[in-house]
Structures are given as C-alpha cells and as structure tokens.
Structure 1
C-alpha cells in the first residue's frame, strides 16, 4: 500500500492538476491493490505487460515526431473530416507552445503519452518482483531485464524530446519532504549514462532472439537492447547533445549546468564500439539484409521490379520471416491507405480506407540518387537544369513508368530506392491485386484525368507524390479493403550498418570499414560503392575521402535508406540539420491541372516554421507552477 501512495504522490507533483484528477478518479478503493497485483506469477505478468503498454503506443506515426516533422510527409490540415490526430503534422506549421504543448510525452496530451507515469509503473514492477513465490528465477531475471530496458527507453525518448529531464530511478517515498518530491532536471549526459547503465544491466538476462514467436514476438531481446544502446550512444555523441553551444546557458535553479559546454570526441568512439557489438550479435544470430523471394502467387518478375520489392519488403515483410528486422512493435502500421494512390474508380469510393493523403514534397524525392549512385546536383552526366522538362516513357522504362505516359525527366534514370519509396504521376504500382507485371496499375495524378475520378477526390494528395514504401504490395484498395498488415521497424540491420559507418567516421575519419558498411547497403540497392561512384560520376570526386565529405554522404544515405520510417526526423535533429531542411518551402505539383505542361509547375504547399527553440519541447507552463524546481527549456 505504501508503494501505491508513492505513485499517487509523484503524479501529483509531476503532472498538471487536471491530469492528476483524472488519474485519481480511476483509483480502485480496495486497499490490497499491490498485494493482489503481485500475489502470483500470472498477476505479476499482467503488470509486466502494463509496463509494455505505453511502448506499444509508439506504433502510431502521427505521434512520432521523427515521422511528422521530418519534411518527408505533408498532411493537409484543411480537410472536412479529420480522421488523424494532426498535432504532430502541424508542429512544422508553428503550432508548438508552452501553454499546451503538441505531442506532449511529458503529460500525455495532444497526441503524446505520459511517459513519467510509465516509468513509475516500471519502478513499481521492479520494487515488487520478489513477491510472487511461483515465479522461477530465470523468468524473474528476464522480466527484470525487460522492465529495465523499458525504463531506459522511456527516459531516452523523453531526453530526445526535452533534453535534460528528471531521472526517476526509484519511486519517491511517502515520507519524502515537499522539496524532495519536487524533482529537477538532470544533465543530459547523466540521463544518457543512466539509460546505458540500465541496458548494460539488462542485456545478459535477455534472450538473444524470440524462439516462441507465436506468443512472444515484440518482447525485448538482447539484439534489441544492444542496437538501442548503440542508437542512444550515437545520439549522445551527436551535435545536439555533445557540447551544444546553443544550450550552454541552460542550468537548474541551483546553477547546475544541464549541457556540457565542450565537445567530447570519445563519445563517438564509445558509440562506434556499441554499434559493432550490436552488428556482431545480430549477424551471429542469423540476421542479414533482406532479399525478396517471390511467393507462388507472383509470376515472373523483371530485375527492376524484383529489386524494387526487395527495398519495399525490407520494411513491409512479415516480421517473423524478415531476416533484417531487429525490433518492431506488436501493433501493425495503421496508415497504409494514406500512403496508397487511388488506382481505380472503385477505390475513390473508399474515402476512409484509402484516404491517400500522405503527400511527399518535391524536396524529398530529390534526395534520391541517380542510377549512378550520386545526388542529382552532383552527377556530372545528369542535366539537373532540365529536370522538369517533359518526356514520354518508352519500352525500356515500362517497369518503372507506364509506356506512352508523359512525365518529367526527373522521374527517369533514378536509383531503385526512388521507385520503391515514391509513387508519382505515371509510375508503375505493382500489386493491389494485379501480379502480372505487364498488366500492373500505374498512377494518374493529374487533375480530373485521374482514374480516381472527380477532381476533389483525386487531389486529397496535395503534392502528387505518395510514400509507396509504406504500403505492402499485396494490400488491395479497390471495391474491397484487404490490407496485408506489417510492423513498421524501429530498428533494422541496414540502419544499424549506416549508424556504425557514421559513428566510425566521426571517431576515426574515412576508413575501409566505413566504406564497407555503407557499401553493403548501397549494393543491396543496386549501386556501386561510394568511392567508385564518386570518382567516376561526381563533380566532386574527392568528397568521400574527407571526414566532412563522407559525413554528408552518410547522412544522405540514412535519409534515403530509412525514408518514411520515422527515423529521419530524429536524425536531422541530433545532427542539428533540421533547421536548414525546414528553412525552404515544401513544394508539390500544380495538382488541379490535367495537362502535363501545366501540372508540372512547382507550387509551394507549406512554408515550415522551425526556429532554434524547436529542437526541444517546452515543459507545460502549469507544470512549472506545480513544481517550482523545474526550469523551462531554453528559448521557451
């Protein structure tokens, strides 16, 4: 009972009065709550899954700012109906504020979840795990390890959003003084170090992989913990947290500095070592880059389509047969219909299952390389100035662009990942119930000429580009609604390879291992290695031979390889590059026009609002009143 009152006391001081009242309203009256909850193994297991509960909420991309503020997706905010929570998408429109912060993971409001409450649940579990007498020692050790991982991950998630946050190592005792209850922020290095400590304690008692997949997929493994440890350390080493001068003045009220004032290069070495340990463990347990294998229902495929499906299915393949998947959550990705064009007249009727409203700006599609494996602006053989000129597709293009269809030069001669990630006017859409590659659907995005029917239905996609990668090719959106569900990866091996290349380059500069791990990912995409591609095709052939040049290449590789996977928004923040990305208007095509010459005119869809203060979230004003030991985030 004492522990239960600890929980209520801390809720009262860390969250607003309204949130506290809501929580108190659902408190059971019986006095044996904790005793009952841990009376035996089965009841304690329910508490374990309660610790997991908030983690499962991360499946929703609309509450993940790595997705909504990445500049990869624009969501229209002027629809008659609003089926999605738009708080996350609206943040780049300048809606963030300290009175009622959007996507508030501190208090659990406006699209977020109350992560401090989840941390307290983890503490309760750890404090009471010895009570069930029928819990075996091995199972108890595993549960403790899982909860320590969750506790570390919740702290880490808060730190990425808010920077310095209070560390809730144990629940506060009922006898604590008022001042002890009013917790303060901890320095960012203390937060990261504590999270890594928890993971180091957890890793030995976690199973390497899930063997009972029917019952346990989604639970934490050693490979998950090792990979997230690598990501944590890479984040700590990155410019946003490592000697960031913009936050050097942020201090607690007692004068304690919350950001280090100097850059520590050794943090990159520590991160690189963690990445290599995670990679070695993954490969030792059979993980490898995914390659598409045709099921019996699929006929013969061209090399182009087979390679495209390799890229697409690395994300959308079933998680129990995907050898690249390190970690995903139990809930499936809920927004396939938002990423799918309306390909038939029947699909236009399905405005709820096939809204088609995830729009990709021109700047995102221009990230992808040419077939030579270098950026459009760097390829000495590519006519970038003439990229918007019209061109009609011929037989050689038929597996990417419909024969006889007129689109622009920029849609030709691109790398495989471009065609696997993005659907555009004239592009082939393999799947949706048609598995003969010579009869595949193609997208018609221009005005009232679309197969989707009337203009007002067609133009819910406000740029003319869709994130094709987020749709399983076997899903059908027609007169019926038959999605093939998948679990969006939180970590996959290609991302870990590129993270290792990044940390190793930052620690030691260009080395053979850095090139090797980038080139593994590029080879799967059908591209030559970095050194060969730049020396042969780039206007800047020496670029990958310097740390700074290779850094730029690695950052772009991560943005391309992990596009639409809720990773780029986090990466751009930790690199301190998102302010530059969002300083340019996001554009699409002139979607209401039917003629190609009028349609292909860049049109500004959104002018983002992102200033220095937007790197970190504000703490809600009322929380600062409730707990006067908290300091507001700098610039808020």
Structure 2
C-alpha cells in the first residue's frame, strides 16, 4: 500500500505557513517558490480548523459535555455552552460569518484562494502539470470553505472572485444565494478539481497533507449527502425563508433524486479509496502491548482505527495537520501520582449517560430492544466476574448495563469499574481500571476527577500509549475528518434513502459491524430484537443506520453535523443530560442518574444567526429564520 502521509512534525512544518505581508502581488507570484508559499497560505486556514473546541459538530452533539462553573479557564469553552441556549444575534458564538473563530477567517481564506487563482499564470518557472495541480487544490479549498459555511448558515454568500480595487461600496454588499445554488457551486468546484488532483501523495517528505483525488471524492460524497438530507432538502420549516426580493433561499420541494446522486458519489469515492489501498483498520497494534488476550486485542484495534499514526492507518481518508490536543481532558486519574496534574489536566470532558447507553449490547442491537437484556434493572450494581474480566475489574461492583456490551462500547467509554489498558502498563493482568466512586478520596487507586460531572469518560479520544501519572506524556494523533468506515455507512444511508433496503445497504453496514465483532444487521435484529421486522423497511433501517453512524463515529466531530442534517438534534437535546451520582462512594447510591444539564435547543438553532451588526452593515442580508 502506498503511504498516505508522514509524521505530524513534518506536516506542521509543511502546511502551517501563512503568506508574508508582501508589498505587491507581483512579488508574491514572481516565481514558483513564492507562489508555493502563497498556496500554503490558502491551506493554512483549513489546517487551523482542526481545533475541536471551535467545531460545532463536536461541541453541540452532546456526546461530550463540559461544566460551566469552573474557576479556571483551560480553553475557550463557549462552543460547549451552546447547548445551554447562550446563542444570540448580538454576539454569536463560533461566529464564522463575522470575521473568524480562533485562528480561522473563512472569508479571508476565500479571498486568498481567489487571489491565487487570479495570479497563477505569473510565475514564469511554474510548469504546466504543477500549475494544473495547484489550481485543482485551490478549487478544492474554495469548495470546502463554502461547504463549511453552508452547514452553519444555510444560504451563504458565494465568493467566486475577488473584489475590484475600485469597487463601489454598494457592489460589495453581496446577496445570499439559495442553498441549492450554494451546493451546486461547491459541487462544480469539486468536479473541476478532482481530475487534476494526484491519486496519492508520492513525495511524503515534502507534500504530506495536500489534497488527493480520493479525499476530494469523499468530500463530494459528504456534500451531496448533506444536500439531500432533511435539513436542506425541501425543509418545510423554511418554506417562507426569502430574501428582500422575495426569492426562496431554501428548496421548498423534496427532491428524491438528490439521494441517488449522493449514493453514486459515495460509491465512486469508495471505489477510488479502495483502489489506492485503503481498507478498514483490522490489525491489532503491537507497540506498547505485551501479554494481552484476544478480547483486548479487538478493543485496541477499534481504538487504533482513530488514534493510530496517520502513516500507519489504512482507514484514514482525511485529517488535518494538527494533533488532537485535549487528551489530558479525557484520561481519568488512574494513579495517586496523577492527582498532582489535576489542576492542569482535570479530565473533565464528560460523557452523558444517554451517550454511553447509545452503544449496542453484545448482540448488536440497542439496549432497550435486546429481548435478552434486563433493561429496567440496568442500573442495579453487579460484581465483575470472570466472563467479563477483559472489560470489567473482577470483584468490583458496577452497573449491570456495563456488562455484555459491544466491543465499541469498551473501546470508546471509560466507566466506573471499566478496564483502562495502557497508561504505561503493557500487560493485561496489570491493567488499570477506573474507580470513580467517591472521587474526593485522597488515597488508593481512585479516579480523582471532581470536575468530570457525569463519571463517564470519552476513552476513544485517548491513545492507549498516552500516560497520565506523575507526568503527562500524550501520544499524538490526528482526529479523523473522514474514515472509510464512515464512508461505508454514508453509502448505506444514501442508498437506503434512494432505493430502500437492498443487498448493498446491508453489505456496507455489515462491513463496519463485522470489524466491531458483531453479527450482520439482519441476523442481529432477527435473533435478538423485540422489533425484528424493523430492519426490513426503509424507515426502520434509516433509524438503524443513524444509530450505527452515531456509534461508529462517536466523539469524532461528525455526529453533531449528522444530527443537524437529519433534523434530529432537537430531539436529542429535548431531554435532560444525566450522569452518575458522582459524590457517592457506595454502588447503591452512585448508580442513581443525576441531571447535570438541561439543554436549550430550538428550531432556530439548526442554523447560526448572523450578527445584528452584519445585517445592519449589509442591508441585502436576510437574517436566518426565528432569530
């Protein structure tokens, strides 16, 4: 297989480049080297978009929640507060329209891309093949920046070209285009770019992180799926959303053909990815692993599909260059020495109970649908036994619902009594386990996490080799933007919507389930579900695919976007978010769910507001509905 990338050190060196403040464009494009530096500047905004605290798909999904009563500010927590109803038109949170979030300014990035395309013929020593490739890369970047804005705002401004230097103030006040027009423009840019992008990156040392054909095709598949989804495809909630001239800004009629176009794009992307050697990660890792059982190897394989180094991960289609920098917030304090790090790395990224209960039983069906599972008594304490020793500490009392779960649950969720392999220990017999009850204790192998207010950790976001002991030593990884398993499920979703249940729909769901150690979806529902016929209808299979994606891609910054395009986020956030009774030491009292957040999310929150100031300055803008 051709290597997909190289190390994170090199990628930071390569693409973390911003153009200097040059005096003239002629200087910036006087030769190939200067123009390449400008190309890297076009990439730079996208690279800075990898910080998950500024990603609405991550912070508003309710997969991970964050306390808002801490005296210390470890990072900008505003994105996590969005589910508390703090958004406003006066000062929008994650305000990408108003000029930038963090190090990101999308409109500036689009201006830079246009400048690049308008001056690409100036470097006299830039060869034709390389010029063609650079043009394709910049068109991809323009498409991605526009697409990111569509997901947030719906109708957007199309920045197709640069403003003239002598442009009148009135001409600068552009109008929003409809969502159909915006999606069409994004797809047209991708279609222009894809033929001229390289199949793979041959020069790993110098070109890691640049866009390939299979990356662009996978993004196109996601764009078309988003356009076909309920939020954007004939959404009745926006039937009266018009601009000041009376033009409809949302499609008012459902178009079923959009799903088939999306399915075709998904299949084309899968074919290209597999042709370049990509496949599901299915080899148990060996680094930092001593004597472990086959059962634990399956867990480590699932974890490594996300946290493995990019160059060794055949499943990773696309990520951005900066490593995931928040492992210190997701690893519990497993040793007494690690307590001293609590003020710097407080382990306070908490998972609500609803998220941990989303994962299937070991029969591959939901907890409340497994006819063999005692759902009503799932909070009852039960002692860890030999049959579950690879996942739960023997002799330790934990909730019944932690037993007999699917492998992805144990790979993704850290819970009271759960085995946490790694953290400097290489043999399973000596592995740490999470002891979260009575978290204010000062001795013993406790998890000292007074700020993890649910008592549940997003284990998936910690590399098993990362260490939190007397020192903090994380093993860097790149959080995926697109994995092959996600693309498989995207194809299953779009094909089911276009054609209903077919052999290919089941096949691509089962590719992901098989890697997770589960039976096929039809067999699981037939043998264990209380509703065995659900898998045989388009509507029933839709629900199953949605849950499958939420499980497979949990904590990866995908679910929040999915729930938005499905118009299901309001339903998810209509219920209180709960955790365990963390101040209690006894299992009988600990396993009593406590409400930690009552989310506030209304119909208006599916689209971001444009700030009042921007609407005043540009009277051609129409505010998003319900704001």
TM-score grouping bracket, smaller chain normalisation: over 0.9
Report Cα offsets for 1:568-598 as digits up to 9, x if no partner: 0000000000000000000001111111111
- CA 1:27–1:396 in 2, change beyond 3 Å: closer, same or farther? closer
Report if aligned partners of 1:167, 1:186 keep a CA contact under 8 Å in 2: yes
SS at match of 2:482: strand
Report Cα offsets for 1:421-458 as digits up to 9, x if no partner: 00000100000100100100000111246578799952
Report if aligned partners of 1:40, 1:132 keep a CA contact under 8 Å in 2: yes
CA distance in 2, matches of 1:142, 1:444: 54
CA distance in 1, matches of 2:101, 2:224: 29
Partner of 1:494: 485
Partner of 1:187: 178
Report if aligned partners of 1:122, 1:151 keep a CA contact under 8 Å in 2: yes
Q: Which deviates more from structure 2 when the two are superposed, residues 270-279 or residues 393-402?
A: 393-402
Partner of 2:610: 619
Report if aligned partners of 2:435, 2:446 keep a CA contact under 8 Å in 1: no
Partner of 2:134: 143
CA distance in 2, matches of 1:151, 1:622: 26
SS at match of 1:320: helix
SS at match of 2:184: helix
1:247 aligns with 2:238: yes
Report if aligned partners of 1:206, 1:221 keep a CA contact under 8 Å in 2: yes
Select which of 469, 485, 501 maps to 1:478: 469
Q: Report deviation, 1:111.
A: 4.7
CA distance in 2, matches of 1:356, 1:208: 41
Q: Structure 2 unaligned segments of length 5 or more: list them.
A: 1-18
Q: Report deviation, 1:379.
A: 0.5
SS at match of 2:367: coil
Report Cα offsets for 1:335-387 as digits up to 9, x if no partner: 11111111111111113553201100000001000000000111111110010
Partner of 2:452: 461
Q: Report deviation, 1:52.
A: 0.9
Partner of 2:621: 630
SS at match of 1:119: helix
Report if aligned partners of 2:303, 2:460 keep a CA contact under 8 Å in 1: yes
SS at match of 2:596: strand
CA distance in 1, matches of 2:157, 2:443: 51
Partner of 2:191: 200
1:152 aligns with 2:182: no
- CA 1:109–1:34 in 2, change beyond 3 Å: closer, same or farther? closer
Q: Report deviation, 1:215.
A: 2.4
Q: Which deviates more from structure 2 when the two are superposed, residues 169-178 or residues 306-315?
A: 169-178
Q: Which deviates more from structure 2 when the two are superposed, residues 351-360 or residues 531-540?
A: 351-360
Select which of 373, 391, 403 maps to 2:394: 403
Partner of 1:20: none
Report if aligned partners of 2:318, 2:481 keep a CA contact under 8 Å in 1: yes
- CA 1:562–1:450 in 2, change beyond 3 Å: closer, same or farther? farther
Q: Report deviation, 1:179.
A: 2.8
SS at match of 1:308: helix
1:447 aligns with 2:447: no
Partner of 1:572: 563
Partner of 1:23: none
Report if aligned partners of 1:38, 1:44 keep a CA contact under 8 Å in 2: yes
CA distance in 1, matches of 2:382, 2:343: 35
In the TM superposition, 1:324-339 aligns within 5 A as: 324-339=315-330
1:356 aligns with 2:355: no
Select which of 595, 600, 608 maps to 2:591: 600
Partner of 2:277: 286
Partner of 2:69: 78
Q: What TM-score, normalized by structure 2, do the two folds share?
A: 0.95
CA distance in 2, matches of 1:483, 1:111: 23
In the TM superposition, 1:414-433 aligns within 5 A as: 414-433=405-424
Report if aligned partners of 1:348, 1:452 keep a CA contact under 8 Å in 2: no
CA distance in 2, matches of 1:229, 1:625: 34
Q: Which deviates more from structure 2 when the two are superposed, residues 55-64 or residues 443-452?
A: 443-452
1:236 aligns with 2:223: no
Q: Report deviation, 1:146.
A: 0.8
Q: Structure 1 unaligned segments of length 5 or more: list them.
A: 1-25
CA distance in 2, matches of 1:552, 1:167: 34
SS at match of 2:318: strand
CA distance in 1, matches of 2:105, 2:125: 32
SS at match of 2:578: strand
Partner of 1:178: 169
- CA 1:230–1:68 in 2, change beyond 3 Å: closer, same or farther? same
- CA 1:352–1:42 in 2, change beyond 3 Å: closer, same or farther? farther
- CA 1:462–1:257 in 2, change beyond 3 Å: closer, same or farther? same
Give the RMSD, CA atoms, in angstroms. 1.7
Report if aligned partners of 2:315, 2:483 keep a CA contact under 8 Å in 1: yes
Q: Report deviation, 1:169.
A: 0.4
CA distance in 2, matches of 1:634, 1:260: 14
Q: Report deviation, 1:296.
A: 5.4
Partner of 1:225: 216
Report if aligned partners of 1:326, 1:493 keep a CA contact under 8 Å in 2: yes
Q: What TM-score, normalized by structure 1, do the two folds share?
A: 0.94
1:528 aligns with 2:512: no
Report if aligned partners of 1:388, 1:409 keep a CA contact under 8 Å in 2: yes
Report if aligned partners of 1:406, 1:426 keep a CA contact under 8 Å in 2: yes
